[in-house]
Amino acid sequence: MYPTFLSKKINLLILLSIALGNHFVLAQNAKPAEHVVLISIDGFRPNFYLEEKWPAPNLQTMAKEGARSLGVTGVFPSVTYPSHTTVITGTMPDKHGIYYNAPFEPEGQTGRWYWENELIQVPTLWEAVRNDGMTSASFLWPVSVNAPIDYNLPEFWSLEGYGRIEPMREMETPKGLLAEMELNVLGKLNEKTFNGDYLNREDRIGDMAGYILETYKPNFITLHLIATDHFQHSEGRDGPMVHKSIAATDRAIGKIMEAAERAGVLDKTTFIITGDHGFVNIHSALSPNIWLVEAGLMENKDDRGNWKAAFHTSGASAFLHLKDKNDTQTAAQVKKILADLPENIKKLFRVVNREELDEVGADPNAVLALAPIQGISFSSSTDGDTLKPAKGGTHGYFPDFDEIETGFIAWGAGIRENVEIQEMGLVDVASVVKYLLDLSIELPESTLYPGIKK
């Protein structure tokens, strides 16, 4: 038996040891952030937050106070759906399987896009959040139909036309989610009150995310804002509605920040703002399928008729597909057609061979791709003049110049103040989410820059 005073000291030491051990376990389990809001601004350019001429006070404040990139290199083609899937998986298109906005359909394009989450061939951040016992929400994120998300309004439309509310309502999780938000914060949504042609859509997506954050406090929220893309397509990079659209986007983000503050979780929340691509002003469009029609390799029909080769256009670029993947004779014939074009046409684009497509993680099914110079966009047209006038702006270019780069801001819990990243990849965004929520997902292609960690 120990003396009483010694027994008390031993018991005290045991209790102290247990307390310290529990504190150590809690410290080990503590995540840098309890909530991460990942916002994609379609057509997001770094100058929106680096130049004061743009009306984006929330974005510019977060960029100054948090971590910001001078440019983010995207995927090829630099279009919305493969880019968003790279963000949500931390892998390139050749791994995740979403190669374009719309898949190449051998019997002719039906208008379908890559909508369903089952088409993604690798684990997503949404899966990782659920597997680690946390909750998630998502609003209008590409390729999210049927995704493992607790509160989900996916981007989806019927083949009858884009913009209708009912197809999204039919795909929501849980059932009644949109009706709940309409009752409590949105008002009734229809083609007038939720329409990509008007800026009220951005307000309502901000309201959706803010309501769910304040009401249910999910650990991970993803949302997709489209106005900047819509108006850069119609007006180019510097049109008057582009300025108004970034202001509307900034206001939507402010609504979510205020919701986090009202919910008492702002100090535990991190905002990540990124995009999918930049934008390029265009003046002319080139139609490479006309060359194939003239060579008898496809027909001027919606289903391509009796075809052997076809260019699948995605944004500004075009990707060559063969009916028979092993048809080396047709592949060689197309390459000769391209090589024999007059110099005044050949100088408008370059041929991206299969080896280079492999290097950038592009569609493994394409034989080659055509990447235009700035100002030129490829068209799917199969008749008329090969070179036609065009206007506005577009994307989809090979991601090797500044104008096509997108942006990145991280602000809030777990993020060091005033960090500038000169260059990063879109594939790297996922690793920031992994760090903040301490997710168990493996991301071998995604790099976390430790300089942003608090």
- CB-count exposure of residue 3 (10 Å: 0-12, 13-18, 19+): exposed
| Residue 137, pLDDT score | 98
Residue 334 has φ and ψ, to the nearest 5°, of -65, -40
41 forms beta bridges with 225, 275
Of 341, 359, 446, 360, nearest to 404 by C-alpha is 360
Give me 189's structure tokens.
């949504």
361: left (phi over 0), alpha (psi -120 to 50) or beta: left
Q: How far apart are CA 347 and CA 117, in angstroms?
A: 39
No. of helices (H) and no. of strands (E), the chain: 16, 19
Of 58, 40, 32, nearest to 209 by C-alpha is 40
**Domain ranges within the chain, ordered by starting residue:** 32-279+400-452, 284-390
E strand or H helix at 59:
helix 57-65
CA-to-CA dists, residue 71 to 158, 224, 290, 423, angstroms:
35, 19, 36, 5
Give me 269's structure tokens.
């929340």
296: left (phi over 0), alpha (psi -120 to 50) or beta: left
Q: Specify whether the CB–CB gap between 267 and 34 falls below 8 A.
A: no
Give me 40's structure tokens.
């994609």
174: cis peptide before it, omega within 30°? yes
Q: Walk along the chain (454 residues) and give the pLDDT tens digit of each residue.
A: 444 444 544 454 444 444 444 443 334 458 999 999 999 999 999 999 999 999 999 999 999 999 999 999 999 999 999 999 999 999 999 999 999 999 999 999 999 999 999 999 999 999 999 999 999 999 999 999 999 999 999 999 988 766 678 999 999 999 999 999 999 999 999 988 999 999 999 999 999 999 999 999 999 999 999 999 999 999 999 999 999 999 999 999 999 999 999 999 999 999 999 999 999 999 999 999 999 999 999 999 999 999 999 999 999 999 999 999 999 999 999 999 999 999 999 999 999 999 999 999 999 999 999 999 999 999 999 999 999 999 999 999 999 999 999 999 999 999 999 999 999 999 999 999 999 999 999 999 999 999 999 9
Give me 339's structure tokens.
């090589």
Residue 444 has φ and ψ, to the nearest 5°, of -65, -20
| Triad 270, 272, 278: Cα angle to 5° | 170
Give the sheet arrangement for strand 408-412, strand by strand. Answer: 151-153, 136-139, 220-225, 35-41, 269-275, 408-412, 67-69, 419-421
Determine the 3-state secondary structure of 71 from DSSP. Answer: coil
| Residue 163, pLDDT score | 62
Q: Specify whether the CB–CB gap between 206 and 37 falls below 8 A.
A: no
Q: Which residues contact 77 (CB under 8 A, 6 or more apart)?
A: 100, 314, 315, 316, 317, 319, 362, 369, 396, 397
- The single-letter DSSP state of residue 177 is H
- The single-letter DSSP state of residue 265 is -
Q: How far apart are CA 208 and CA 449, in angstroms?
A: 31
Length of the chain: 454
| Residue 191, pLDDT score | 87
| Residue 161, pLDDT score | 67
Give me 291's structure tokens.
């060359």
Q: How far apart are CA 134 and CA 150, in angstroms?
A: 10
- The single-letter DSSP state of residue 183 is I
Give me 440's structure tokens.
């168990």
Q: Specify whether the CB–CB gap between 243 and 217 falls below 8 A.
A: no
313 forms beta bridges with 318
| Residue 237, pLDDT score | 98
Q: Which fold has domain 32-279+400-452?
A: Alkaline Phosphatase, subunit A (3.40.720)
CA atoms within 13 A on the CB side of 275: 32
Q: What is the dihedral of CA 136, 142, 147, 148, to 10 degrees?
A: -20
| Triad 304, 307, 312: Cα angle to 5° | 60
Give me 282's structure tokens.
């265009």
